[in-house]
Structure 1
């Protein structure tokens, strides 16, 4: 009986002990915080206790009282990029976060082409990765937080992961795309860069949307796991202050382009609503050509079309074209090109850098002149389409019978238009470029950025 009393006393004493400060995984040593803004720090403590936060970059102290459930959150200002710094957090028992850098932070999400590591996968290497690993230097201020891939039927407040420096060993498992993006951004801006990677291979866009967003879209709830990746891999980061989003996904939605067309524009809205920080930049990758349900079919071309059309309607967004990087396995090996093209976009549109190409010409309209179809383009950072003086491949023309025939296509240098004809079609009414699942790019701008596949019809 005495043993029982002793046990109960020990149990009650343990329960009454103050709870040690608990922080989410992303708030940890070696993290990168967004510069020149008010960032959020949050966690759990004993119910109703006061939490003291000290930031070494300005030697200021902040206090906040934990709520009934022990949750607390405080906003603190950050200075210009720099570091390393420390943050002390205490409710009587101190935790010190060390080696903190302040710079630019980007949230990287999507499916396997976003998560694919520098070491590649079996039979699917990353081009140029070994040179990156040989030259790796952990003192370069680019750091990575990779969230453990998981799903959840309910909203989660935390995830698993840690901040890593860019040593050879660490970079093996880091997203190749995120690395190449962050490397060029850091080199150009000369500030620390943090990449939070939260991606899940083989995922559909329905899983990345919140239940509220999915519930408003007819047909979306038929997916076997709607919102489960949002719950586990987006929601835990909603308080972590970022500069913007990078997104690479779409391959697993090829079976239903119509549903994808309804879902895709909701994604940036949903992410921005979660962060509650206005229209944060949203830069995404158009999926690359691949075999899918047959190289001559057009299902994945329609996904590319959805992504292309949404670039014009989603505020503060931009799309990177990868029509020249496709392969038979769905995972382009040239992740450096993808990451750098995203960096071009961010450097121009978010950071205001000028004097380089970042956006290829986009299809605008057609004009029919007898047997010719004349294609016009919208130009942003480029002046013309190339290459001149050669026949451009993968153009097709159709007449009233809606049968497409291979066409001859050449650039008119004076008008910056493409002129297309097909011997079999005397009265053309529609043209398509590279509008198949598996195709190759033949049309670029002077900065070697590929033009997206397109069509003038809606058949």
Structure 2
């Protein structure tokens, strides 16, 4: 290239770059239909050219600002009372943005894992609720899922929507019912921001700075996430592109006529192990099954049980099904004309996005049904990897949202910092149950982190873990009980509240479908904590215990006008108590309400020293409530070492 052309090309590139940034722009969460927080200064920000004048006009107020060298601009509008709809204009040198249908009201951030993400279309009352959900005074914003190794300026593409049948089906059911209750009771506009991701740990929602308060990450102090991880979002994006465009599809691995080498053996069903124990990616599985004469051309049914996370399945080179949902059982119909007498080839492409992948059911879940006969498929399958995280240098940590701290905070919470909110509702903890003792620090650390990021001690409310798994025959230790205890401890922070939902869990489903009562109970807590209404903030809270002979006399706060039982027992019998002596062996106890006390005893324990209530994975029968009908949280009087004390995650 001629030397004199290089400066001209450089100038041209600079000119094109300046043009690209010459227009005023906003993060995606500033959009039509948004709700801005009432009674607090309203902050608006965006990008433009360096040294460009930007004018913001809203609700009779005008502000001007000149961008810095980085092209960033920010204005602060005065606090305003609720109302609307309004328009906002943001004018620069080259363009003018007009945002319409804006309301001023209360904005709540809804976050956590799958029980917060759980859509209204899955709720017990969802079908009818969606049909009747039109309410222009409730606005919804879904934050798209993204893993980011550094803090980002903006969320992925999204915008605010009015609440209605076209927008509520896939919005958080808990968030929707919470917002609906508040809007009806307060008669002010409500904005709901859903930023949640199923199956995630609390660590990934915590900022990198605050993660230094956690012992497993403190050793990385002074390093960035990318330095500690050894990769950046750009590297992750390349891997994700390979997951979305599996090269094996192009090479027709699914065709039995395609000649492939390098297959190994793995028993199915089970999770990936051995060399693939820590892998994310795509592994193909192949099984050949012999069918007798007379089955050619017959329809069939292929059952594979649950697969983690996604699959595409072929029979004799014909695609018979695909599922991109890790909890669902794979049950694929095979159309007539695909099966043949003799050898048939089943090919399953299994994609794992995080954690452990595989065909994970029981052996009896995996079979081919033709006519009235089942052909078992459990046993040795051939397998061959197509795309692996280790091939992209990710073998140490993996590529999912739980691979490291802050990966979801960076792209799904940090961009929102500064956008005015009334408070936060949180539903998470299932993923951290195995480290419940550490959750005592992890949870308040995240709450204080978010408040510090916003510079606002806003209300923070959460859902206590529901009942789950089999009902215990005898009193036993419980990780889920210890996680609930850690959640209770976080109530020591100011402006916090909790919804107890042990009565609406489902033994066989970690995702209870009754989200309506969850949202309403959160709203009840919000009315007290966030709005100062004269309602009880929670159910009865254990205060102290006195021993009288072989009986324990328990006192509670937050009882209102008195204690009672949820099932209205005329005798005041309370379920779910256990007592123990010095031997620490708990037995089920009898209990009844006496005035404002609960009397607990067991004839098997002559000298009781400790009481536990609802201390189980599934304490669904507990029934102690206050005068507002709110359940008492599970608790214990002892501080004996739990089963999660000292647990640390592997690798960090």
- Hey, what does 1:144 align to over in structure 2? 140
1:378 aligns with 2:557: yes
- Assess if the C-alpha contact under 8 Å between 2:422 and 2:458 holds in 1: yes
Residue 297 (structure 1) shift: 4.2
Residue 401 (structure 1) shift: 1.4
Structure 1 residues 378 and 52, CA, compared in 2 at 3 Å: closer, same or farther?
same
- Hey, what does 1:272 align to over in structure 2? 451
1:176-198 Cα distance to aligned partner (Å, 9 max, x none): 01100110111111111001111
Aligned pairs for 1:198-237 within 5 A? 198-220=195-217, 224-237=403-416
Match of 2:437 among 258, 265, 273: 258
Structure 1 residues 422 and 86, CA, compared in 2 at 3 Å: closer, same or farther?
same
Match of 2:190 among 193, 198, 212: 193
The 3-state SS of whatever aligns with 2:434 is coil
Match of 1:164 among 161, 166, 170: 161
1:439 aligns with 2:441: no
The 3-state SS of whatever aligns with 1:338 is helix
* Bigger Cα displacement from structure 2, 8-17 vs 403-412: 8-17
- Hey, what does 1:458 align to over in structure 2? 639
Residue 263 (structure 1) shift: 0.9
The 3-state SS of whatever aligns with 1:219 is coil
- Assess if the C-alpha contact under 8 Å between 1:54 and 1:62 holds in 2: yes
Please report the RMSD computed on the Cα atoms of aligned residues, expressed in angstroms. Answer: 2.3
The 3-state SS of whatever aligns with 1:101 is strand
Structure 1 residues 381 and 230, CA, compared in 2 at 3 Å: closer, same or farther?
farther
Measure the CA separation in 1 of the matches of 2:453 and 2:188: 27
Measure the CA separation in 1 of the matches of 2:554 and 2:53: 66
The 3-state SS of whatever aligns with 1:15 is helix
1:277-300 Cα distance to aligned partner (Å, 9 max, x none): 2x1111111111212998954111
* Bigger Cα displacement from structure 2, 433-442 vs 8-17: 8-17
Residue 315 (structure 1) shift: 1.2
Aligned pairs for 1:2-81 within 5 A? 13-17=15-19, 19-55=22-58, 57-58=59-60, 60-81=61-82
- Hey, what does 2:178 align to over in structure 1? 181
1:74-117 Cα distance to aligned partner (Å, 9 max, x none): 10124221111111101121011111111111111111111111
Match of 1:341 among 518, 521, 524: 521
- Assess if the C-alpha contact under 8 Å between 1:110 and 1:198 holds in 2: yes
The 3-state SS of whatever aligns with 1:140 is strand
Aligned residue-pair number: 445
- Assess if the C-alpha contact under 8 Å between 1:145 and 1:195 holds in 2: yes
The 3-state SS of whatever aligns with 1:108 is strand
Structure 1 residues 196 and 454, CA, compared in 2 at 3 Å: closer, same or farther?
same
Measure the CA separation in 1 of the matches of 2:614 and 2:177: 27
- Assess if the C-alpha contact under 8 Å between 1:182 and 1:193 holds in 2: yes
- Hey, what does 2:460 align to over in structure 1? 282
1:321 aligns with 2:496: no
Measure the CA separation in 2 of the matches of 1:293 and 1:421: 21
Measure the CA separation in 1 of the matches of 2:624 and 2:185: 28
Residue 379 (structure 1) shift: 2.0
Bigger-Rg structure (1/2): 2
What is the TM-score with the length of structure 1 in the denominator? 0.92
- Assess if the C-alpha contact under 8 Å between 2:37 and 2:104 holds in 1: yes
Match of 1:99 among 98, 101, 125: 101
- Assess if the C-alpha contact under 8 Å between 1:358 and 1:381 holds in 2: no
Measure the CA separation in 2 of the matches of 1:188 and 1:262: 34
Structure 1 residues 12 and 435, CA, compared in 2 at 3 Å: closer, same or farther?
closer
- Assess if the C-alpha contact under 8 Å between 1:360 and 1:382 holds in 2: no
Measure the CA separation in 2 of the matches of 1:425 and 1:231: 53
- Assess if the C-alpha contact under 8 Å between 2:563 and 2:624 holds in 1: no
- Hey, what does 2:257 align to over in structure 1? none
Structure 2 gaps, min length 5: 220-401, 641-652
- Assess if the C-alpha contact under 8 Å between 1:78 and 1:102 holds in 2: no
Match of 1:400 among 572, 582, 591: 582
Measure the CA separation in 1 of the matches of 2:96 and 2:549: 79
The 3-state SS of whatever aligns with 1:86 is strand
